[in-house]
Structure 1
Amino acid sequence: MTGTYSRLAYQKRLECIRWKSQITLAYGVRQGRGAEVEKLLGEVDSQMYVNKAQNLADDVSHPEPSGGYFGGGQA
């Protein structure tokens, strides 16, 4: 049972690390440092990560007109 918990905790930790790196990457792209970010990531698959980060940055900068996550819209 302990091994299962450790494995799940490890997977959750990896998810947190991935999420944090995506946010950091999105911030770098948002600040116009896409080339620096791509250089840091290296050649392999870097464009995929930069594109994903750009999409995340766009989502954060341009929330949905309907109120986004909170469902705002009309009263």
Structure 2
Amino acid sequence: MDPGTAAVIGGGFTTAGVAAGSIAAKMMSIAAVANGGGVAAGGLVAGLQAAGAAGLSGAATAAVAGTGAAVGWLTSYFY
């Protein structure tokens, strides 16, 4: 497993779905509230989940993980 995939999975985006109580779960909750109850297809949360479920190339996973980390950090100021 490349380091990018490990980072995504470590954040709670796993092959089995979003891990309860994880950063991924908080991001999914925020995205769902912002979108009126559902997570937008093609959005950041959906992209990170796809990376956790299927795995992406090292560069793609690193880019998605970096973006997710930044968004998670920013949302920590609101919740």
Q: TM-score range by the shorter chain?
A: 0.3 to 0.5
Higher relative contact order (CA 8 A, sep 6+): 2
Point out the structure with max Rg over C-alpha.
1
TM-score (norm 1): 0.34
Bigger strand share: 2
- TM-score relative to the length of structure 2: 0.33
